Structure 1
Amino acid sequence: MNLLRTYRNWRAYRETVNELGRLSNRQLADLGINRGEIQSIARRAI
């Protein structure tokens, strides 16, 4: 069970990083995010 949960968390993290990474700097700024924060935001999302 723990392995499955870890995998799902990793997938959620990667999807969040990928989605935020596809946004332009302007779109990120509109959300109050800069590129350097993407990974930490993705970690908090899981």
Structure 2
Amino acid sequence: MPRHFLAKVMKKLASEGVIGSQKGPNGGFSCNDGTQKPICLK
């Protein structure tokens, strides 16, 4: 899956509140289920 496509999908999920996101050097995406576990994509 192209990286730019995945970025668009993750951005949309974050804007809908399905996942959390944080900008910056230590930023990324996390689960919005109360655990705040990071989402790791390789």
Higher relative contact order (CA 8 A, sep 6+): 1
Greater fraction of residues in strand: 2
| Greater Rg by CA | 1
Give the alignment's TM-score, normalised by structure 1. 0.39
Q: Which has the higher helix share?
A: 1
